[in-house]
Amino acid sequence: MFHPVTTVHYMVLSAALLMIGTAGVLARRNIVIILMSIELILNAVNINLVAFSHYFRSVSGQIFAVFVIAVAVAEAAVGLGILIALFRNKETVNADEVDLLKW
Amino acid sequence: MSFLDNIWLIPLFPLFGAAAMLLLGKRLDPQAPSDVAVAPGAEPSPAPPHGHHGSHSSGKKALISLLCPGMVLVSLVFSIGAVVELAGKAEKIHEVIKYAWMAGLPFRMADGTMARFGADFGFLLDPLSSVMILVVTGVGFLIHVYAVGYMGHEGGYYRFFGYMNLFVFFMLMLVLANNYLLLFVGWEGVGLCSYLLIGFYFHKKSAGDAANKAFIVNRIGDAGFILGMLLMFGVLGTVRFVDVNAALTSGRFAAETAGFGVLSLMALLLFVGATGKSAQFPLYVWLPDAMEGPTPVSALIHAATMVTAGVYMVARSSALFSLTPETSMVVAAIGAFTAILAASIALVQNDIKRVLAYSTVSQLGYMFVACGVGAYWVAVFHLFTHAFFKALLFLGSGSVIHALSGEQDMRKMGALKDKIPVTHWTMFIASLAIAGIPGFAGFFSKDEILWQAYSSPLGSKVIFAVGLITAGMTAFYMWRLMYLTFYGKSRVEPAAAPHIHESPRVMTIPLSVLAVGSVLAGWIGVPKLWSVFPDAFRTFEHWLAPALASASAHVAETAHHDAATEWLLMLLSVAVALAGIWLARYMYDIKPEKADALASSAPGLYNTLLNKWYVDEIYGFLFIDGMAKGGGTVLGTFDNRVVDGGVNGAGWLTRLTSTVSIWWDTWIIDGSVRLMSFLVKLSSYPMRILQTGQFQAYALAFVLGVLIFFGYYMMR
């Protein structure tokens, strides 16, 4: 009764996660949420990588996913660090109150 | 040690004395606190005690009295030593160069060759300068000794001796210098000392005025001297005597002897300097006024030494003057004119010192006559003898003034012969000497001048005649002075009469020594005519010959005049002198009323002479009122209109240009800068609104870009 889970299903999931993450990054104001949304985007990529690794019977996609996770950890650490520094200086975590990139 | 190599020490002894006096003297002189000198004429107490120098002196003051004449005595000893050594040398010239005093830059001379501007701190002893240093230190020493007595009871004793020693220092620098520039240092230095000593009684306005007059008139002459030296640098490239003489005698300039060339101009400019220092027309006016100074100063500076510096300088430049007959003629003419002008004024003066002052001017005129006719050794000879008898006359007059408690007017003297016998006898000898009575010093030198004026190729009968008349006048005014002072009836003021006294021995001994000199000094220049005397009596000419080599050429040419003429002229000059003396005796002793009768018979001439030909008034009108005051108005207008106008105009112009500059700065420079920034601002506006600074906006653009990209590929 259950259809087998195919690569297409993974791709749909991945695309959905990517859309959700993108929408979160663009629309949300809280930088913590934005960082979480970025994690969603990265994990959508990971799902894609693992699905195609399975599909092509190649382990390199798996390895690449591990790399992405490692890089995501580092990115989250840097991002949170910037966030804390920002909060100390500006007393805010609202993205639209921060327009320093203009200068 | 040889004296000859240490001639540079000779000036330094008096310098030491001067430094000691002027730096420390105030502590030595007990009278220093009231450092206001009291002139003999302004003596407050009518009864100066006999031998007052004793009553005033203390141990410290005696130190001054010993140190300052002592320093001059040491210089005299060194001078004698050096001259004796020089006499023993084959070549009668000795130069000691201590160091390069002015080492200057190279420059291009008038003829295009390069030369180096420079002068050494060097000393030259040759026969000419040896005569001068002996006169300066010898007569100077005697006058210093005399001054110990004469100035003994006056304030500023240390100051007086400090200046006197300073004067001797500069005078020795002047005569020992080995180049014109160093000579000029001494020249200016003696001028300074002359100024200081004329103005010694500085509380008297007349003394201060006389000092200023001497200084200012001398400046005019010095300007000529400086120009002459610069011309000498430009033409000859050196001012060292040895080099100058070598260049002039090398024949390079022989062509210029015809006509008025650059050498004539050079000689003339130097002579302008000499007219200032040696009180020749038209710059003689300062010397009579210089009698405001103390009498020893008049004797030392304004009779024996400083005023003869001009004669020395011309004799020193004999190589130059003998190449320029035109200038020599000017020298002789000015000398003769000055001689007779001053003598005519001296005929009627009543101030004893002024008579002597004009006499000095007149005698200096004689010396320039000798220079002008090329007989330089005779000029120096007259300088030498004149130093003795004129210093003696001044010191004697000082002794008379001293005896009469400061009286200088000869109309208030008379019959002093027996009251001050030493003064009388010494002045008697000096008056015979200056009148030109055979056997006394003045005769030999004056007669030689007259003979040279007559016989020299450069001389003329006119100059001889002027000299002869002046000789008669000289005899007259000197013996007028003698008769008015020492003979006849006493006209002394009753207040001063009881105090007449002979001067102390410290003053009479120098008088006696100078009197001996006034007799003997001439016997080293006996005329060639007196062939009875061996050549040893003519040492002076032979001694000076090496230093004045070029002059001997002219002297040699006199040989063709016959002896009879010379005898005749000599008898003539003696006769004129005797006539002058007799006339003075007649007018002022035998028939004293004659003098006044003569004066009132020709009042115009008498007053003209008494007022010194109104030369001071003419100068006052021409130069003081005309140039200083009239010129002052012109200069004031010039100052107001041109100088101030120029300054104001420059200010206005600056303000104008700065206004333009401000406008330009504000509108053009700043405007263009602001325009550029405005354009940038304007053109950057579309870009600026994209830059929100919010990273989500950037991210949106990023995502939209990706979507457009994908959309494009999908739609295709």
Residue A1 lies in a domain: no
Coil, strand, or helix at residue B260? coil
Nearest to B67 by CA among B175, B141, B133: B141
pLDDT grade for B58, boundaries at 50, 70 and 90: low
pLDDT grade for A39, boundaries at 50, 70 and 90: very high
Q: What is the average per-residue pLDDT within B572-596?
A: 86
Per residue in B149-163, pLDDT (tens digit) is: 888 877 788 889 999
State whether B694 and A99 contact (CB < 8 Å). Answer: yes
Phi and psi (nearest 5°) for B68?
-70, -50
Q: What is the pTM of this model?
A: 0.74
Q: Which pair of tokens denotes residue A101? A: 């990139």
At residue B257, the pLDDT reads 52
Q: How far apart are CA A93 and CA B481, in angstroms?
A: 126
At residue B99, the pLDDT reads 84
Q: How far apart are CA B106 and CA B161, in angstroms?
A: 43
| b/e per residue B378-412 (b: at least 16 CB within 10 A) | bbbbbbbbbbbbbbbbbbbbbbbbbbbbbbbebee
Interface test with A, best of B684, B696, B700, B703 (most A CBs within 10 A): B696
Residue A66 belongs to domain spanning: 7-91
Which chain A residues contact residue B695 at CB under 8 A? 95, 98, 101
Residues 643-702 of B with CB under 8 A from A: 691-696, 698-700
Query: Is the predicted pLDDT of residue B287 greater than 60, yes or no?
Result: yes
Give the chain B residue whose CA is nearest to the CA of A34. Answer: B696
Residues 30-89 of A with CB under 8 A from B: 34
Nearest to B362 by CA among B297, B431, B287: B287
Q: What is the average per-residue pLDDT within B47-56?
A: 40
Residue A99 lies in a domain: no
At residue B243, the pLDDT reads 87
Please count the structural domains in chain A: 1
Facing A95 at nearest CB: one of B691, B694, B703 = B694
Which chain A residues contact residue B691 at CB under 8 A? 102
Residue A79 lies in a domain: yes
Residue A96 lies in a domain: no
- Which residues have C-beta within 8 Å of that of residue A6, sequence separation ≥ 6? none
| b/e per residue B141-163 (b: at least 16 CB within 10 A) | bbbbbbbbbbbbbbbbbbbbbbb
At residue B256, the pLDDT reads 54
Minimum mean pLDDT range among A45-59, B47-61, B81-95: B47-61
pLDDT grade for B259, boundaries at 50, 70 and 90: low
Choose between B374 and B550: higher pLDDT.
Answer: B374
* Owner of token pair 């005929």: B347
Tell me the torsion sign for CA atoms B80, B81, B86, B89.
Answer: positive
Which chain A residues contact residue B699 at CB under 8 A? 25-26
pLDDT grade for B656, boundaries at 50, 70 and 90: very high
Mean pLDDT of chain B: 85
| Residue B489 DSSP class | S
Q: How far apart are CA B35 and CA B37, in angstroms?
A: 6
At residue B153, the pLDDT reads 79
State whether A25 and B699 contact (CB < 8 Å). Answer: yes
Predicted complex ipTM: 0.85
Q: How far apart are CA B252 and CA B590, in angstroms?
A: 63
- Which residues have C-beta within 8 Å of that of residue B218, sequence separation ≥ 6? B191, B194, B276, B277, B283, B286
At residue B392, the pLDDT reads 93
CATH, residue A63 = 1.10.287.3510
Which chain A residues contact residue B690 at CB under 8 A? none
State whether B694 and A101 contact (CB < 8 Å). Answer: yes
Residue A70 lies in a domain: yes
Burial of A31 (0-12, 13-18, 19+ CB in 10 A): buried
At residue B196, the pLDDT reads 93
Which chain B residues contact residue A99 at CB under 8 A? 692-694
Cα-based angle B614, B481, B378 (whole degrees, multiple of 5)? 80
Per residue in B520-565, pLDDT (tens digit) is: 888 888 887 787 788 778 888 888 888 875 544 544 454 556 778 8
Residue A98 lies in a domain: no
Closest CA of chain A from B691, distance in Å = 6
Burial of B488 (0-12, 13-18, 19+ CB in 10 A): middle
pLDDT grade for B42, boundaries at 50, 70 and 90: very low
Closest CA of chain A from B698, distance in Å = 9
A98 touching chain B per CB within 8 A: yes
State whether A98 and B694 contact (CB < 8 Å). Answer: yes
At residue B386, the pLDDT reads 93
Give the chain B residue whose CA is nearest to the CA of A21. Answer: B703
At residue B38, the pLDDT reads 45
Q: How far apart are CA B210 and CA B486, in angstroms?
A: 29
Query: Is the predicted pLDDT of residue B174 greater than 90, yes or no?
Result: yes
Interface test with B, best of A20, A41, A96 (most B CBs within 10 A): A96
pLDDT grade for B135, boundaries at 50, 70 and 90: very high
At residue B30, the pLDDT reads 56
Minimum mean pLDDT range among B379-393, B400-414, B507-521: B400-414
Choose between B544 and B59: higher pLDDT.
Answer: B544
Give the chain B residue whose CA is nearest to the CA of A103. Answer: B693
At residue B323, the pLDDT reads 83
The alpha carbon of residue A13 and the mean position of all alpha carbons in its chain are separated, in whole angstroms, by 14
Closest CA of chain B from A1, distance in Å = 35
Residue A75 lies in a domain: yes
Residue A55 lies in a domain: yes
A2 touching chain B per CB within 8 A: no
